[in-house]
Amino acid sequence: MNHLFKKVQFLKAIVFSVCFILFFSNPVHADSTGQKLLADLEEALVSLADKVRPSVVSLSPYVPPSPSIRRQGDQSGAPANAGSGVIIDGAKGIIVTNGHVVRGSGKVKVTLLSGEEKIGTVLGADEDTDIAVVQIETEMPLSTATLGDSSGLKIGQLAVAVGNPYGLNDTLTFGIISGLNRENVNLSRYEDFIQTDASINPGNSGGPLLNIRGDIIGINTAIINYAQSIGFAIPSNIVRKVVDELLEFGEVRRGWLGVGIETVTEKIAQQVEGKAGEGVWVNSVFEGDPAHRAGIRIGDVILRIGGTAVDTPNRMIRLIGAFSPGQSVNLDILRDGKRKVVTVKLDNQKKRPDKVFKKSLQDIDEPSLGVEVESLGGDQGIIVSRIYPGSTADKQGLKMGDQIEAINGRTVLKVIEFKDVLNSVLEGGEIHVLVLRGKGKLRIELTQKGLN
């Protein structure tokens, strides 16, 4: 009800503004002109809905007709999550949706606006951006939505979301773009979300976020459960790149630099003779990786990548990932108070097996440790790839780039071992972490008392 009230207030504000302007500009014609403007807006929204709705589909789990004779290892009948999708190539039957909607499935049931059901094949999915591509067979070209350009979006622009929330097929909601470049939402590795107050609910995932012209500006991906009117969409320009690579290669190929990084704080800025919030500080360099080969050192501050300024670790991760493996890129760095340019030839991120595991106590309904870990590959061990400010790990001194050797005396060399040990430790309450930092080792205690 509160959300509905806010929407009504928003629409009232529009009406009041229109009437206010018209009254003072030409009071005699205020009523008729104001009604015409509102009628034009209404007609535009109805036209948009008629144009786009046929291209939005419902996705649900596919159950083979004879599951008892399904071949061993065949994942085509594994359950998917209910969600939405949008057709971006009606001639070929190409649909884009969220990765989590089709996770674990080789096939999904696709329901068109007409009610016709088809079996869709999952051509590829990218966990790092939560984007997936599904294809259905079609004899006639299907209605197609156009992927727009999200680079010029502005806060305050009108936005329309279409999807199938709570099984209510063919639902359209209306709002504005509330924010841009949102990160640290912990939904995916590469976060650069559009924030909108257009209602996005469970089942909307994978559906399109549209501008007033009916172009796709984003793919709806999630909401914040504890807040009203806060939804997120993946920008269309990111979607386009991911879809193109999934169709061509079956995976997304991203550049890999091979460093541990963190935000430049006031304290770090004083040490490096830089500015707080400008660039990212290198706290570890992985031996043999591109950064190491190019001469990047611990203590360097990376200011620009390919000419684009860097101000947060997430932004740097996105920028590096936007380059192709094997591509050379110039890094503007700050070292010992002096600026210099270093050229790095990037590796393929896919060479980093078991690369990211996001695990916290929050995953099992407990407060969060606030730490993410990353594999160094094979049995070389794992390192801390992210620390959340204010978390238990942050307060107890765990740092990005720390190599975790053991938890409560148990050696951990792989991310899956970290997961297993941490899950067993949770019941005991005390967590003693042995880390390798630089050339020294230290023990860090994370106890239930220190949890937020």
Q: How far apart are CA 60 and CA 163, in angstroms?
A: 13
Give me the catalytic one of 84, 199, 205, 375.
Answer: 205
Q: In sequence order, what are the beta bridge partners of 301? A: 281, 334
Residue partners of 167: CB distance under 8 A and separation at least 6: 82, 203
How many CB atoms neighbour CB 328 within 10 A? 13
Distance from C-alpha of 237 to C-alpha of 259, rounded to nearest angstrom: 26
In whole angstroms, what is the distance from residue 218 CA to residue 177 CA? 11
Give the burial class of 429: count Cβ atoms within 10 A of its Cβ; 0-12 exposed, 13-18 middle, 19 or more buried: exposed
List Cβ neighbours of 133 (8 Å cut-off, separation of 6 or more): 94, 95, 96, 97, 122, 123, 124, 125, 243, 246, 247
- Identify each DSSP E strand in 93-166 by its residue range: 94-98, 107-111, 117-126, 131-135, 158-163
Q: Cα(54)–Cα(295) distance, rounded to whole angstroms?
A: 54
**Residue from 130, 192, 197, 402 carrying the catalytic annotation:** 130
Active site residue 100: yes
Which token pair is 430? 């005390």
Where do runs of H (alpha helix) occur along 183-287?
236-249, 266-272
Verify whether residue 29 is a known catalytic residue: no
Q: How far, in Å, CA of 53 to CA of 1, rounded?
A: 26
Which is catalytic among the residues 55, 84, 89, 100? 100
Is 130 labeled as catalytic in the residue annotation? yes
For residue 384, give the 3-state DSSP assignment: strand
Catalytic residue IDs: 100, 130, 205
